[in-house]
Amino acid sequence: MDLKEKLSENVVQLARLGLAGRSQDVQAYLRQAVRRLKGQDPALARELSELLARAPTALSPLRDFGSALVPVDADSRLALAKTEYPIIGSDAPILDDDLRVKLEQVASEREHLSTLEAQGLGPTRSLLFVGPPGVGKTMSARWLAHLLNRPLITLDLATVMSSYLGKTGSNIRAVLDYAKSIESVLLLDEFDSIAKRRDDDGDVGELKRLVTVLLQEVDDWPASSLLVAATNHGELLDPAVWRRFDDVLEFRLPTLEQREDALRAAFGEDAQKIDSWLPVLTSLWEDRSFSDLTRTAQWIRRRATTKAVNLDEVLLDRIGSELRASAPDLRKRVAVLLANQGMSDRRISEMVGISRDTMRRERRGGKNG
């Protein structure tokens, strides 16, 4: 194929993509061209990469966010999305190193658009957060919006979901179009509610068509915005969802070290008072999420304040009430920890609900081990 024929083919393909409104495909096509032209025509490759680098930042959230109208439901006139800008009080969530690196990478990409485009690459456009409730998925989305200095737009499922067939789809499309019109971070929380498996016989055809539309939206999502979908139930998602996102981030229950950090942060100015209790608390609450740990710590602090009693007294009462309802193995393990802190066998027996003979056997077993 000679140069004229190849140029004609490229122009036709770009025209086809542009007229179809598939701006994301236009950008992908141009990135391929940049990679091909780097060796043949460096000047043209550089010019195209500069155009691509400028495209995602053509809109400024500072300028356009206030003037953009939040879409509303046609019947109720309620807003279909919640918006937040600037992001206030968004401290970095407690995350494992791998998750933190990935999130910081997404933010960093927006600072190196020209370099990325020169390599024929684009920034991350979509992320799927998967994990149990309370492990930091929503906080991470807020933190990303804070790092990017962009509005956080959260789909309001309560308003979006409609009993009228076809209404839910049009509501979701309105929110997606709104998020694409400005530089933003769009959070689709409880994503499994709108992207369920299409082989679910309990769903009507309209909802299955909605999943197809959502998959197309993820494919065509512009680099000017960041799409974040979050789910507590990854097993409910349509199988095609997983491969459509640029990256899938798995959020897990906190590790021992993360539980310690979360408890220190939650106890605030009282953090030093619980240092000696941390081995007990992190063992007792090993299956708790970050939000569970925070709620429990705040309850203990409020209790100590309103009752005007020492924090240790409230902690002991809380630990005892939880242990008595716990499995025997956990009670025995915590009993040993309490004994290591110098608590008497009689007091531990009353708190934990196991006999002193059992505690002595546990301690001997621990020493022998």
**Tokens read off for 105:** 């990478």
CB 124 within 8 A of CB 34: no
Cα–Cα distance for residue pair 153/179, rounded to 1 Å:
7
Gyration radius from the chain CA atoms:
27
Residues 6+ apart with CB under 8 A from 161: 168, 171, 193
Q: Which pLDDT score is estimated for 21?
A: 63
Cα–Cα distance for residue pair 203/168, rounded to 1 Å:
13
Distances (CA, A) of 291 to 70, 132, 258, 260, 285: 30, 11, 12, 13, 12
The torsion angles phi and psi of 48, rounded to 5 degrees, stand at: -65, -40
Residue written as tokens 């979360």? 262
CB 69 within 8 A of CB 182: no
Cα–Cα distance for residue pair 224/185, rounded to 1 Å:
10
Q: How confident is the prediction along the chain (369 residues), in pLDDT tens digits per residue?
A: 554 566 666 677 767 666 666 666 677 777 777 777 777 777 777 777 767 766 644 444 444 455 467 899 888 888 999 999 888 777 789 999 999 999 999 999 998 988 988 888 889 999 999 999 999 999 999 999 999 999 999 998 888 876 565 688 888 989 999 999 899 999 999 999 888 876 655 555 667 778 888 899 999 999 889 999 999 999 999 899 999 999 999 999 999 999 999 999 999 999 999 998 899 899 999 999 999 999 999 999 999 999 999 999 999 899 888 888 888 888 888 888 888 878 888 888 877 777 777 777 766 665 544
The torsion angles phi and psi of 224, rounded to 5 degrees, stand at: -70, -20
Cα–Cα distance for residue pair 16/18, rounded to 1 Å:
6
What are the helix (H) ranges across 110-156? 113-118, 137-148
Cα–Cα distance for residue pair 44/42, rounded to 1 Å:
6
Instruction: Read off the DSSP letter of residue 110.
Output: T
